[in-house]
Chain A
C-alpha cells in the first residue's frame, strides 16, 4: 500500500492556490472539489489525504504530528516558532511584516516605544535586535486603529498593498521581514515517510521553477 501523507491546507484563497500547486505536482484529489460537508479528502492512489484548517493552526497540526506536512505563512512560523522543518518557500501569499505609524510620527529614542500588534513575538525580536525599549500592546484585530486613538505609537502588522494603512492615514516605515507561504513538515514524519515527503517537495519545487521560467520567457 502506498504511504499516505496527511496534508494540512490553510482555509481560504491561499489554500486554493496551494492545492493547485499540489495537484500540478501530481497529487490530485477529485473528492476535494465535490460540494459536500466532508472534512477530510483522500486519494489512496497517489497517497495523499488533505484537510482544511484555520491558517494559524496549520503549524500546530504539523508540529504535533496530526499532519505530516502543511503550508503556513512565514508570519505564523516566526510568531509561534513551531519545531518543524521548513522545506520550501512556495513563493505565494507574498506580503511583508512592517512597522507603520501616523504620517507625522517621529521616533523619540528617549521614550519607550508603544507597539500594538497581533505578532508580539516577531515585534519583540525585531526591537530586541535594534536594542530599542518597547511596550508591547497585544491586540487581536483592528490593529490600525491603535495609533489613531493614541493607544500606541506604531503598529507591527502584515502589509500587502498598503491600502488599508493609507485609508487610515498610516504609512509603513520599516520592513521587519518579508512573508510568503512555506511548506513545513513534522520532524518525525520526515524520518519515517522520507521518500514520499521528498517527492512532494521536489514535485512542487519543479512546478515553481517552471512557473518562474515561464514568466521570464514571457518577458
Chain B
C-alpha cells in the first residue's frame, strides 16, 4: 500500500512519525480499550491530571471509567525482570474535564513508558526521545527539565507541614518568588533554606550552562545522584545536537508523592501550553506494589492543531453534476479518469450551498460541459 501523505492531516502525520520514532528505539505498541475499572483511578486520584472521571456501571454491576489516563493501565500490566525494562508506546484518546469549560473533553495522546529495572542509560534514551518528539513537531522547541529529588531535598530541610509544602510547590510552579518568600516567612523557614529555594525558582537556562550554578547551590544537600543524572542527560542530549533547547527549569513540578526523579515539559513556539509532559514516577510503582522504576511522557496531539491550521481551498477538486437519466457506468468511468489525475470528485445532482469546488462540471455522455 502506498501512503498519500497529502491525505493525512498534520496530527495524523505526526502520529505516524512518532510511532516510527518510538519503534526505532525498540518500543512496541500498547493497545488498550476505552474503559478501565474505576477502582484503578480512585486509588491513585492525585496521579491524574483531572480530578473527575466519567464513570458508568457495566452489565455486571461493576463501576467502570472512560480512561482519563494511559500510564496507570500500562503500569498495572508491568512485569519485573532484573536487568530489563518494558518499553511500550501508545496512541490513545483520554477523557478529562476541561479547565476552562468544566465540560468533559476527549484528548488525543501519543507517548511512551519505560518500566522495570531502570538505569541512567534508559533515562537518557527517554529524554532523547522526548527531545526528538518535540523536534518532529517543530524546530523551534524547548524541553524544560527539573528534578523532584532536588526539589524534595530542599523541601525536607524546611520541615514544613503538608499544606505549606503544597503551597510552596505551587509557588515554585508559578515562578512566584514573592509568594514562596511569604510562605517561608510565615512558617519560620530559616533564611539560608529560603534563599536557596528562591534561587532555585530563578534558575533557568540551557542545562549545560546552568548545571555548575545548580551544583554550587546544592553543594551541601544529599542530591549527588540527581545532579549526576542531570549531567548525564545533558551530555547525551548535547552529543545528539540538543543543547540550547534543553533547559533547567524548576517550575516544572509534578506531584511529589508519585514523582521521584527527573520531570520535564516540552513547549513549541506558537502553542501557549506544554505539548509534552513527562517524568519519572517510581513512587507510583511502589503504591501499586511493583518493583523497579518507571519514566515516560505524553504528547498532547490535539494542541498541534494550533500550529498547523490547514485550510483547504476547495471541498473537492471537481463537482460533477449528473441527471437521473445519465448512465451510471459512464459516470463511474469519468470519476475514475479524474481520480487517476489525483483529483477528488463529488457527484451531486444540484450544486450544494456553502461548499467550494475547483471546477464544476455538468456530466453528459458525450463529454463533460464546464
Say whether A and B bind each other. Answer: yes
Q: In the bound complex, do residue B176 and residue A83 qualify as a contact, i.e. CB atoms below 8 Å apart?
A: no
Which residues in B have their C-beta under 8 angstroms from that of A60? 100
Q: Across the interface, do A192 and B174 meet the contact criterion of CB distance under 8 Å?
A: no
Q: Does B142 contact A (CB under 8 A)?
A: yes
Which of A140-148, A153-161, A182-190, A209-217 has 4 or more CB atoms under 8 Å from chain B?
A182-190
Q: Are A63 and B272 in contact (CB under 8 A)?
A: yes
Instruction: Report how far A83 CA is from B274 CA in the complex, Å.
Output: 10
Complex CA distance for A146 and B179, rounded to whole angstroms: 33
Segment of A85-93, A99-107, A111-119 engaged in the interface with chain B: A85-93
Inter-chain contact B142/A192, CB cutoff 8 Å: yes
| Cα–Cα distance between A64 and B100 once the two chains are bound (Å) | 10
Q: Are A85 and B175 in contact (CB under 8 A)?
A: yes
Q: Is the CB of B142 within 8 A of A88?
A: no
Minimum CB–CB distance for B170 against chain A, Å: 9
Residues of A within 8 A of B273 (CB): 63, 65, 83, 187-188
- Give B261-280 as 1s and 0s: 1 = Cβ < 8 Å from A's Cβ atoms: 00000011101111000000
Q: How far is the CB of A40 from chain B (nearest CB, A)?
A: 19
Is there an interface contact between B176 and A192, defined as CB atoms closer than 8 Å?
no
Contact of B267 among A81, A88, A89, A187 (CB under 8 A): A187
Write the nearest CB–CB distance from B293 to chain A, whole angstroms: 28
Mask of B257-300 contacts with A, CB within 8 angstroms, 1/0: 00000000001110111100000000000000000000000000
> Does residue B370 face the partner (Cβ distance < 8 Å to A)?
no
A83 to B303, CA, bound (A): 15
Asked whether any CB of chain B lies closer than 8 Å to the CB of A129, the reply is yes
Known: A129-B163, A191-B144, A194-B204. A86 touches B176 (CB 8 A): yes
Q: Is A48 an interface residue (CB 8 A)?
A: no
Q: Does A84 contact B (CB under 8 A)?
A: yes
Question: Contact mask B221-252 → A, CB, 8 Å, 1/0?
Answer: 00000000000000000000000000100010
Bin the interface of chain A by size: 20 to 34
Residue of B nearest to A67 (CB): B272
Residues of the B chain whose Cβ atoms lie less than 8 Å from the Cβ of A83: 99, 273
Q: Is the CB of B251 within 8 A of A85?
A: yes
User: Which residue of chain B has its CB nearest to the CB of A62?
Assistant: B272
| CB–CB B174/A65 < 8 A | no
Q: Using a Cβ–Cβ cut-off of 8 Å, how many residues does chain B contribute to the interface with A?
A: 21
Which residues of chain B from 135 to 185 have any CB-CB distance to chain A below 8 Å in the complex? Answer: 140, 142, 144, 163, 174-176, 178-179
Closest-by-CB residue of A relative to B251 is: A85
Bound: A63/B178 CA distance, A: 20
Residues of A within 8 A of B175 (CB): 85-87, 190
Distance from A84 Cβ to chain B, minimum over Cβ atoms (Å): 7
- B180-207 interface bits toward A, Cβ cutoff 8 Å, 1 = contact, 0 = none: 0000000000000000000000001000
Task: State A190–B202 Cα separation when bound (angstroms).
Answer: 13
Chain A residue at minimum C-beta to C-beta distance from B271: A188
Our pick among B99, B142, B178 for the contact of A191 (Cβ within 8 Å) is: B142
Evaluate whether A88 and B178 lie within 8 angstroms (CB atoms) in the complex, with A188-B267, A191-B267, A192-B140 already known. yes
Cross-chain contact A86 with B174 (CB below 8 angstroms): yes
Give Cα distance in the complex from A187 to B173, angstroms: 10
Q: Give CA–CA (A187, B204) in the complex, Å.
A: 13
Among A22-80, those with CB < 8 Å from B are 60, 63-65
Tell me the smallest distance from the CB of B183 to a CB of chain A, in Å: 13
C-alpha gap A176/B175 in the complex (Å): 23
List 8 A-B pairs, minimum CB-CB distance, nearest first. Answer: A65-B272, A89-B178, A86-B176, A191-B142, A86-B174, A85-B175, A188-B267, A192-B269
List 22 A-B residue pairs with CB atoms under 8 Å apart, sorted by A's residue number: A65-B271, A84-B174, A85-B175, A85-B251, A86-B174, A86-B175, A86-B176, A87-B175, A87-B176, A89-B178, A89-B179, A187-B267, A188-B271, A188-B273, A188-B274, A189-B272, A190-B175, A191-B142, A191-B144, A191-B247, A191-B269, A192-B142
Q: Which residues of A contact B (CB under 8 A)?
A: 60, 63-65, 81, 83-89, 129, 186-192, 194
- Write the residues of chain B forming the contact surface with A, with a CB cutoff of 8 angstroms: 99-100, 140, 142, 144, 163, 174-176, 178-179, 204, 247, 251, 267-269, 271-274
Given contacts A65-B272, A188-B269, A191-B269, 4 further A-B contacts (CB under 8 A): A64-B272, A188-B268, A191-B142, A192-B142
